[in-house]
Amino acid sequence: MTFHQHTLPNGLTILGETNPAALSVAVAFWVKTGARDETPEVAGVSHFLEHMVFKGTPRRDAFTVNRDFSRIGADNNAWTSEENTVFHAVVLPEFLPEVVDVLADILRPSLRGDDFDTEKKVILDEIVRYEVQPGWAVSEHARKHFYAGHPLGNSVLGSTASITALARDQMAEYFKRRYVAPNIVAVAAGNFDWPKFVSLVEKAAGGWPTGVAPRTQRIEPPGAGGVHVVTKPPDKVAQQYVMLIAPAAPADHELGYAGAIVSTVVGDYTGSRLFWALTDPGLADEAGMGVDECDGAGAYYTSFNCDPERASKCYGIVRELLDDVQKNGITDDELQQAKTKVMSREVRAGERTQRRMLTVVKDWVYRDEYRSVDDELAAWDAVTMKQIREVLDRYPLTNQTVTAYGPLERIG
Amino acid sequence: MTFHQHTLPNGLTILGETNPAALSVAVAFWVKTGARDETPEVAGVSHFLEHMVFKGTPRRDAFTVNRDFSRIGADNNAWTSEENTVFHAVVLPEFLPEVVDVLADILRPSLRGDDFDTEKKVILDEIVRYEVQPGWAVSEHARKHFYAGHPLGNSVLGSTASITALARDQMAEYFKRRYVAPNIVAVAAGNFDWPKFVSLVEKAAGGWPTGVAPRTQRIEPPGAGGVHVVTKPPDKVAQQYVMLIAPAAPADHELGYAGAIVSTVVGDYTGSRLFWALTDPGLADEAGMGVDECDGAGAYYTSFNCDPERASKCYGIVRELLDDVQKNGITDDELQQAKTKVMSREVRAGERTQRRMLTVVKDWVYRDEYRSVDDELAAWDAVTMKQIREVLDRYPLTNQTVTAYGPLERIG
């Protein structure tokens, strides 16, 4: 695998990892904008705009966009997060020209008024559908409590009120400001010709306007702390959901690998301390811990859901477990097992062009660097017990903001 | 990629596809037994037994099983269907000996009485959890109506009554009868040494008892026909779910590829006729068609769910669409697009050792043959309009058994 990088005169970055042994090529246009870049008046516009991108351009209506992906057998999709809006597709190598053509074309959407009105209903329906999913709802509440006004706590979907009030011209203004060339990365990974990819992207996107799309409020949120209870009637939410959030290392932090090891030992979906304490004995239906590495901030998410009658017991076990790891760290055996686990996942992910593509672009966007699969493996392998201690001291597992969502009126 | 095959003296089949370029190796023990091989008294025993396999052996308790997968970073899981029970794992190449050792060991479970009693509660909970999922419930009802007593209509989970009544010794008897060596295939795909794999499997499984585990009632079900309505109160099931099932080509049928093309054109999740007729205009929340190729039988599944007020309209559109394809077939353009789509998916699946492993073993179990990725591509590419007509004539899209599940008291 070979890495390549090029910047167009308008500031658009092009990245590539060529692998002649791959059977496919994965391509994306990665826009560095998301919910954290929204003002309250346009909450949800990034995600709504992601939908509108598929509704057509001066060259293609919505039907043609879908057909042109379909006819090349593309496995395509898009997603919006707090920090990024990403449009991606995997195709056979011979369809590289077509997939770049469609992806680049839709990134200059018409944003037609009647499409906007129709899609607004779809978004409003989506909000209603999500709101009744307690796993999603607890996370929305928990993030709001933890971030306490920091823009990383913004909701990706927005609210019924903000979406209802949103006007087409506000979206057009946001698009113009945030979808400038220097804020976009075009990336490919797999079996493709690098000079050809560069010339395809240059032809399709070389004329996009340049500009500056800075990200404001890059301060590290301290975590608001406290215990927040959102009570729901038992006929609406039968299970009790609990989520704990604590500050963790940002995406470009040198202790990120150590932090991810801690999270694997404590809360991987299988074989972790939480698995043995809550899931395996059947105390909780689900329990786990993960780490979210963002731009200038990071967070450990620890969560479980269970029968309300067992919630206080489970909560006590979780806090005790976190306190114990904070105080006594992890064992040599746990460190070794977690390394094997994450390294094995890294290697397996490396077999898929889509996963490599996403890794390459994330490393570049968040760390300004390229890392091969071997670089990643070496970094995991290099994690020491000393670093585990350091990351625990710098980002303690005791500094939790707790949110409970479900029938209970209090927890713990 | 090179194919290998060997049969042990006790009748256990070993398959392998070696690919020195792969970064991992996927391994499975595939047991040719499932819900269709159960008598009503032990309904659900295959799936319950799959759970028990992870509860320990004379050499390992449940904790050790999980730990021994975890410490080698295995991505392991298991599933039970109407016809198969499969235990699989993906690991880095250096862990081949360990993963064969654990997988083979757990395939000789202790089935301890106290584990059986504990796990029974887990299974009963699982049944309750599934029953409230309307997408699952409509499929269970629809299959019962379509198969009308044919064992392929058996429920994989069993019922609360059958699981409650099941005794540990009945499971042990089923295990002894169905988990004999000639009914099991050990398979690996990816980066591994074939002679070494054979010797590892021989060492671990060469002593397993032989025997005959025939499958009875291999007649092709005609489809019962009719419209069946299961009415649920709107506060329990808000959306209307509709599923249509029609007989399709069995797994070893020469028209299978043509049938899968028909199903892609009519009901692929994107860009298909159903997508444009129901999903894109927002008439249905989900709509699609798939084909299930079984041992001696096959079935097209067409389904949608929507607001109850729109259900009759959607149902009318679906029937009209199916009638039209039955009468007029598909267009040359549709055939070409569907080929590109399925061939592209085939190639991308070929990049993952786990997918290749499952394809290799399925081709062997269902068709007694090995097919390389290139063989599969050639077979898709060879589908003609004449074969499309033949498969429609042999398995008409008009021969539907319809099941509605939701608030409505009638449909259509």
What local confidence, expressed as pLDDT, does residue A351 receive?
85
Pairing of strands B184-190, A184-190: unpaired
Q: Are B98 and B163 contained in the same domain?
A: yes
CB contact (8 A) between residue A71 and residue B340: yes
Do the chains contact at A121 and B66, CB–CB below 8 Å?
no
With CA atoms as reference, the chain B residue closest to A90 would be B348
Burial of B309 from C-beta contacts in 10 A (0-12 / 13-18 / 19+): exposed
Same domain as B168, residue B103? yes
- Ranges A343-357, A394-408, B156-170: which has the least confidence: A343-357
For residue B327, the model assigns a pLDDT of 98
Residue B330 maps to a domain: yes
CB of A172 within 8 Å of a chain B CB? The answer is no
pLDDT at A274: 98
Residue B285, min C-alpha distance to chain A (Å)? 10
Cross-chain CB nearest to A337 (options B71, B122, B353): B71
Block residue for tokens 């862990």: B95
A26 to chain B: closest CA residue: B348
> Which residue in B351, B359, B376, B377 has the most chain A C-beta atoms within 10 A of its own C-beta, making it the best mutation to test that interface?
B351
Catalytic residues of B: 50
* Greatest distance between any 2 Cα atoms in chain B: 62
Q: Provide the pLDDT for residue B6.
A: 98
Task: Say if residue A157's pLDDT is above 80.
Answer: yes
Mean pLDDT of all residues in chain A? Answer: 96
Same domain, B253 and B174: no
Same domain, B244 and B192: no
Cβ contact, residue pair B67, A122, below 8 Å: no
Of B212, B248, B218, nearest in space to B152 by CA:
B218
Q: Classify residue B214: in a domain, yes or no.
A: no
Contact A347 B72 (CB under 8 A): no
Q: What angle do CA B327, B329, B334 make, to 5 degrees?
A: 155
Residue A300 main-chain phi, psi, to 5 deg: -90, 130
Distance CA A406, CA A323 (A): 25
Mutate to test the interface with B, among A61, A280, A334, A351 (most CBs of B within 10 A): A351
CB contact under 8 A, B351 and A24: yes
A298: amino acid identity, one letter: G
Query: What 3-state class would DSSP assign to A123?
Result: helix
Nearest-by-CA chain B residue for A373: B23
- Residues B242 and B312 reside in one and the same domain: yes
Tell me what pLDDT residue B11 has. Answer: 98
For residues B246 and B397, the answer to whether their CB atoms sit within 8 Å is yes
| Beta-carbon separation of A72 and B345 below 8 A | no
What was the pLDDT predicted at B169? 98
Give the minimum alpha-carbon distance from B92 to chain A in angstroms, rounded to a whole number. 6
| Same structural domain, A276 and A156 | no
Give the domain CATH number at B65: 3.30.830.10
Chain A interface includes B316 (CB < 8 A): no
Q: Which residues of A touch B20 (CB under 8 A)?
A: none
Residues A92, B343: C-beta atoms closer than 8 Å: yes
What does the pLDDT profile of chain B (412 residues) look like in tens digits? 999 999 999 999 999 999 998 989 999 999 999 999 999 999 999 999 999 999 999 999 999 999 999 989 999 999 999 999 999 999 999 999 999 999 999 999 999 999 999 999 999 999 998 988 999 999 999 999 999 999 999 999 999 999 999 999 999 999 999 999 999 999 999 999 999 999 999 999 999 999 999 998 778 999 999 999 999 998 889 899 999 999 999 999 999 999 999 999 999 998 899 999 999 888 999 999 999 999 999 999 999 999 999 999 999 999 999 999 999 999 999 999 999 999 999 988 888 999 999 999 999 999 999 999 999 999 999 999 999 999 999 999 999 999 999 999 999 7
Do residues B243 and B142 lie in contact, with contact meaning Cβ atoms separated by under 8 Å?
yes
Chain A closest-CA separation from residue B333 CA (Å): 9
pLDDT for B281 equals: 87
CB contact under 8 A, A70 and B22: no
Contact B321, B266 (CB under 8 A): yes
Residues B185 and B282 in one domain: no
Enumerate the residues of chain A whose CB falls inside 8 A of the CB of residue B377.
none
CB contact under 8 A, B67 and A347: no
Instruction: Tell me, yes or no, if the pTM score tops 0.90.
Output: no
Q: Flag whether residue B385 sits within 8 Å of chain A, measured between CB atoms.
A: no
Q: How many CB atoms lie within 10 A of CB A365?
A: 18
CA dist list (Å): A296 to A85, A216, B213: 18, 11, 61
B175, B205, B235 - which closes a domain: B205
Question: Is residue A17, in this structure, part of any structural domain at all?
Answer: yes
Residue A212 within any structural domain of the chain: no
pLDDT band at A412, cuts 50/70/90? confident
Distance CA(A350)–CA(A342), nearest Å, equals 12
Residues of A in contact with B95 (CB under 8 A): 344
Contact at CB, A348 and B71, closer than 8 angstroms: no
- For B21, nearest residue in chain A (alpha carbons): A21
Average pLDDT over residues A250-260: 96
Query: Of the candidates A276, A336, A351, which has its C-beta nearest B22's C-beta?
Result: A351
In a domain, B211, yes or no: no
Q: Which of residues 359-378 of B touch A (CB under 8 A)?
A: 373
What is residue B131's DSSP assignment?
Answer: H
Number of inter-chain CB pairs under 8 A, A vs B: 100
Could you give the percent of chain A with pLDDT greater than 70? 100
Q: Give the domain extent around A41.
A: 2-205
Last residue of a domain, one of B173, B205, B237: B205
Kindly report, residue by residue over A326-335, the tens digit of the pLDDT.
Answer: 999 999 999 9
Q: Alpha helix (H) ranges present in B21-133?
A: 45-53, 62-70, 96-106, 113-131
The alpha-carbon gap from A106 to the nearest alpha carbon of chain B, in Å, equals 17
- Which pairing describes strands B401-406 and B227-231: parallel, antiparallel, or unpaired? parallel
Question: Quick one: B281 and B367 in the same domain?
Answer: yes
Q: With contact defined as beta carbons under 8 Å apart, do B65 and B102 qualify?
A: yes
A41 is catalytic: no
| Whole-number Cα distances in Å, B199 to A140, A181, B105, B113 | 53, 57, 15, 33
CB contact under 8 A, B337 and A71: yes
B250 to each of A137, B139, B299, B394, how far by Cα in Å?
44, 19, 8, 12
Task: Identify whether residues A197 and A261 lie together within a single domain.
Answer: no
* Residue B112, both tokens: 């301890």
Closest approach of chain A CAs to the CA of B215, in angstroms? 35
Instruction: Report residue B407 as tokens.
Output: 């608030």
Q: Are residues B317 and B189 in the same domain?
A: no
Tens of pLDDT, residue by residue over A8-35, are 999 999 999 999 989 899 999 999 999 9
Which of A75, A344, A372, A374 to probe by mutation at the B interface, max B CB count within 10 Å?
A344
> Would A211 be classed as within a structural domain?
no
A109 and A232 share one domain: no
Residues, chain B, total? 412
Residue A180 has pLDDT above 90, yes or no: yes
Are A271 and B70 a contacting pair at CB < 8 A? yes
Active-site residue among A50, A82, A334, A376? A50
Distances (CA, A) of B109 to A366, B58, B387: 48, 8, 47
The pLDDT of residue A3 is 98
Q: Decide if A352 and B352 are in contact by the 8 Å CB cutoff.
A: yes
Same domain? For A272 and A310 the reply is yes
Residue A89 lies in a domain: yes
**Does residue A24 sit at the B interface (CB-CB below 8 Å)?**
yes
In this prediction, residue A179 carries a pLDDT of: 98
- Residue contact B24–A351, C-beta within 8 A: yes
The minimal CB distance from A73 to the residues B67, B92, B343 is found for B343
CB-CB contact of B143 with B245 (8 Å):
yes
- B18: closest CA of chain A, how far (Å): 15
Number of domains in chain A: 2
Report the residue from A71, A75, A121 with minimal CB separation from B348. A75
Show residues of chain B in contact with A75, CB under 8 Å: 344-345, 348
User: B354 to chain A: nearest residue by CA?
Assistant: A348
∠ at Cα B399 (B393, B400), nearest 5°?
145
Residues from chain B that touch A307, judged by Cβ atoms under 8 A, are: none
Residue B125 lies in a domain: yes
A336 neighbourhood in chain B, CB within 8 Å: 71
- Contact across the interface for B351 and A23, Cβ inside 8 Å: yes
Give B71's contacts in chain A (Cβ within 8 Å). Answer: 336-337, 340
Domain boundary among B174, B205, B236: B205
**CB proximity A167 to B under 8 Å:** no
